[in-house]
Chains A and B, each alone.
Chain A
Amino acid sequence: AQTVTQSQPEMSVQEAETVTLSCTYDTSESNYYLFWYKQPPSRQMILVIRQEAYKQQNATENRFSVNFQKAAKSFSLKISDSQLGDTAMYFCAFWSNSGYALNFGKGTSLLVTP
């Protein structure tokens, strides 16, 4: 079974600064997908970014980028130029064809302060 570990329960960053959220995972699969989801106080789960394991290039979406280290099974999220609206819970998630559901980490609560 795959496990997803987020070792930072809470983090704080000042507006306009950069923050990195950590995620590690354990799997024996060779082909899989990794995701970061954002859950603001509204409860809505919002897909931030995804990474396909067979792609070496790190995914980027505007201010969000990942550092995907396949050998180390590490998948960190970097948020640049943090904004107040980035305040939310961030969940790392794993998906592969051998299962059918997302497997979530415990989440990191990010607070962006003025």
Chain B
Amino acid sequence: SAVISQKPSRDICQRGTSLTIQCQVDSQVTMMFWYRQQPGQSLTLIATANQGSEATYESGFVIDKFPISRPNLTFSTLTVSNMSPEDSSIYLCSVDRGNYGYTFGSGTRLTVV
């Protein structure tokens, strides 16, 4: 199964600033996914990132707020821009293992103060 290295594991940021989260996969994957998990909540899909094309965003998420890069088949970044306390969440990246479900990174716990 794919192993995903996600960084940073946690951060405390000032409002108005931006944070970039990185995910590195140990094998090539077509699709990578970014999820948000607000405190005490389930996982919500932010966007899907395919290499060589623009990310596809879910309803309620926009590229200006959550720009995503996918420069190659093993790497992706998610930026949380112009942060506010409402952005305090756990952010997780994930890769598609097809019918076997998804493998997840270890998550980034973001606190905006």
Contact = CB atoms under 8 A, between A and B. Distances in A.
Contacts of A11: none
A106 B48 CA distance: 21
Interface residues of A, number: 20
Given A43-B90, A45-B92, A107-B42, A102 B101 contact: yes
A105 B42 CA distance: 7
A75 interface: no
A93 interface: yes
Contacts of A104: 42-43
Chain B contact patch, size range: 20 to 34
B31 interface: yes
Given A44-B107, A100-B31, A101-B48, A50 B100 contact: yes
A84 interface: no
A5 B89 CA distance: 22
A100 B92 CA distance: 16
A95 B42 contact: no
B62 to A, nearest CB: 18
B96 A100 contact: yes
Interface string B43-72: 101001000000000000000000000000
B68 to A, nearest CB: 14
Interface of B: 31, 33, 41-43, 45, 48, 90, 92, 94, 96, 99-104, 106-107, 109
Interface of A: 33, 35, 37, 42-45, 47, 50, 52, 91, 93, 95, 100-102, 104-107
9 contacts: A33-B101, A43-B90, A45-B43, A47-B102, A100-B96, A102-B94, A104-B43, A106-B41, A106-B42
Given A33-B99, A47-B100, A50-B100, 5 more contacts: A35-B101, A44-B106, A50-B101, A52-B99, A102-B101
